[in-house]
């Protein structure tokens, strides 16, 4: 997408995140049917333009709590889980009915962090979601709140949507919110607050602007995320090569207005070519479960975009399996990169420091020549090959530090 482009532009695969406050009436817990019907029109219109649309929708807890008599105050975790179980079925039904009237089939996907972060589960979730898109359906995605405990929750659908967007290699993530983007100060309190149309890099100044303001409180306090989680989402999305926009979703047909480029929004754009799907995922979502220490020669080779060969590896830690994400450390222990191991820790330990030609003899089978292939490897501070302008403003593994 060009720098001046607004709206949906050329994006082919779009993830739209819907906040609870937009979809569920705070006073009654009812679905805002007219709003949803308008959204369904907008989604159908985007699909008619040959784009794939995925919805990440909040609202299960807000829609379910009153049905269980949980009408007032903050909910305990188990009450949220119960409310989500009740509300999610209602939410899914509402989407199904609204979109069916436009001839669009929906499919429900409930995910947990492990589904985007664990390699095998990630592949399953990605394949299923992409298959649904290929078959013309609109996946409606939410967190699997009923079984999510505090430790294993995303907790907010902003970051969940960003994880999903990068997992499925989306071009664009739109956070439909109750505000039209980021401001230089809290616009509810400061009349001089300026709207920021584009954020080239998520700098400490930008983070400071977001503060911890829960922007939805004015609309009834339904939403979990404030501007902070939206910036966290932007960081994940942009690191994964996906553009993100925060747009106001409150009015009917907000998505169409945004898609046509007529709505004010704050844009976060990836600064390089999109990474390959695999690199996006390695950069944005994977938690390393082991480490390989390499020698100085290998460290220099990695910096030039080369693979890690067994000959350059000095040591390892962690019980990783083949295909698991590992951190790659320099001889001094400094983190250099993250990648997918081509061998299990057990087998890797046996070929450390050995020539590639010796692998077959040592292990009794010939695996890959590399311990971590360059295609499966992302340098810290530079996902993808070579330097990445603007990335310096982002912590090397910022996505993970958000957990
Ligand atoms: N998954 C939660 C729900 O459906 C919403 C999380 C959020 O508000 O971001 O109620």
pLDDT at 272: 64
Using DSSP, state whether 84 is helix, strand or coil.
helix
pLDDT of residue 400: 30
Looking from the CA of residue 91, the nearest atom of ligand 1 is 4
Tokens 């008599």 belong to 69
Q: Which two tokens stand for residue 316?
A: 């390892």
Q: Is residue 60 lining ligand 1, measured as CB closer than 6 Å?
A: yes
Q: φ and ψ at 317, to 5 degrees?
A: -145, 155
Q: 26, 57, 59: which to mutate for ligand 1, most atoms within 8 A of CB?
A: 59
pLDDT of residue 342: 86
CB 232 near ligand 1, within 6 Å: no
> Could you tell me if the CB of 256 is within 6 A of ligand 1?
no
Q: What residue ranges of the chain have pLDDT lower than 50?
A: 1-3, 214-224, 383-403
Residue 61 phi, psi dihedral angles, 5° rounding = -70, -45
DSSP 166: H
For the CA atoms of the chain, what is the radius of gyration? 22
Cβ proximity of 325 and 282 under 8 Å: yes
pLDDT, residue 8, reads: 87
For 377-395, what is each residue's pLDDT tens digit? 999 875 443 333 333 222 2
Cβ of 324 less than 6 Å from ligand 1: no
Alpha-helical segments (H) within 168-316: 204-210, 227-239, 254-259, 277-284, 296-303
HSE-CB at 199 with a 13 A cutoff on CA atoms is 34
Q: Say what the pTM is.
A: 0.72
Residue 183, SS3? strand
Q: Which two tokens stand for residue 17?
A: 């995140």
């Amino acid at each position: 997408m060009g720098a001046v482009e607004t709206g949906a532009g050329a994006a082919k695969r779009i993830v739209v995140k819907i906040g609870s406050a937009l979809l569920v009436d705070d006073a009654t817990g009812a679905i805002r049917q007219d709003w949803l019907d308008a959204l369904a029109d907008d989604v159908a219109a985007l699909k008619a333009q040959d784009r794939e649309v995925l919805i990440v929708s909040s609202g299960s807890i807000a829609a379910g709590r009153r049905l269980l008599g949980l009408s007032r105050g903050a909910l305990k975790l188990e009450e949220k889980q119960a409310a989500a179980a009740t509300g999610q079925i209602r939410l899914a039904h509402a989407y199904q009915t609204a979109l069916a009237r436009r001839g669009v089939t929906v499919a429900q996907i409930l995910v947990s962090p492990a589904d985007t972060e664990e390699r095998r589960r990630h592949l399953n979730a990605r394949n299923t979601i992409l298959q649904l898109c290929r078959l013309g359906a609109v996946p409606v995605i939410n967190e699997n709140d009923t079984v999510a405990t505090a430790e294993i929750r995303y907790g907010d659908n902003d970051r969940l949507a960003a994880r999903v967007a990068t997992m499925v290699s989306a071009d664009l993530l739109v956070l439909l919110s109750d505000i039209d983007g980021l401001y230089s100060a809290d616009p509810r309190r400061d009349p001089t607050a300026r709207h920021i149309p584009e954020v080239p890099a998520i700098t400490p100044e930008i983070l400071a602007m977001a503060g911890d303001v829960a922007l939805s409180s004015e609309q009834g306090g339904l939403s979990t995320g404030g501007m902070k989680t939206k910036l966290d989402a932007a960081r994940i999305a942009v690191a994964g090569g996906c553009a993100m926009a925060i747009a106001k979703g409150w009015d009917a047909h907000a998505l169409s207005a945004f898609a046509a480029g007529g709505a004010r929004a704050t844009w976060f754009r990836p600064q390089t070519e999109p990474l390959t799907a695999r690199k996006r995922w390695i950069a944005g979502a994977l938690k390393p479960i082991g480490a390989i220490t390499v020698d100085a020669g290998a460290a220099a080779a990695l910096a030039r975009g080369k693979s890690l060969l067994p000959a350059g590896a000095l040591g390892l830690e962690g019980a990783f399996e083949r295909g698991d994400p590992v951190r790659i450390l320099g001889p001094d222990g400094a983190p250099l990169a993250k990648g997918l191991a081509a061998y299990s820790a057990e087998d890797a330990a046996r070929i450390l420091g050995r020539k590639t030609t010796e692998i077959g003899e040592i292990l009794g089978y010939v695996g890959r020549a590399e311990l971590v292939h360059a295609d499966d490897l992302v340098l810290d501070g530079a996902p993808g090959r070579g330097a990445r302008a603007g990335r310096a403003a982002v912590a090397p593994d910022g996505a993970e530090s958000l957990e």
